[in-house]
Amino acid sequence: MPIDNETFQRGRKEQNIEEEVREFLASHEQQAFSVPEIAAEICEPTLSTTEESESETLSEYQLDIIAVKVSLIDLYRRGAIETRVIDDGKGTRKYYQAIR
């Protein structure tokens, strides 16, 4: 549902998601995280009470996860972070860590 300009202007500005990912990893440099773990820390899923809103929120959160993944790929290509594939007992998963 569209909103008017006045309502939009009252909203909080968000930081660039790539910068949020980089800052999060840098502030936890002794740990490595998977994409869902990073997304859970820096993305703000909105809870709602209607089915339509919940479906929309889930889609927005899924897009946030994709944005986190794209940011991680870009940070890795620039040499700002490193990645490892780890077998965590449930299968393999990629983990990301800031380069120290």
Domain ranges of the chain: 15-98
With a pLDDT cut of 70, the percent of the chain lying above it is 86
- Calpha distance 51→34 (Å, rounded): 29
For the residues 37-63, what does the mean pLDDT come to? 70
Q: Which CATH number fits domain 15-98: 1.10.10, 1.10.260, 1.25.40, 1.10.3470?
A: 1.10.10
4-41 confidence digits (pLDDT tens): 999 989 988 777 999 999 999 999 999 999 999 999 99
| H-run or E-run covering 66 | helix 51-77
Looking at the predicted structure, is the pLDDT value of residue 60 above 90? no
Are 92 and 86 in contact by the 8 Å Cβ rule? The answer is: yes
More confident call, 14 vs 72:
72
- Calpha distance 15→7 (Å, rounded): 19
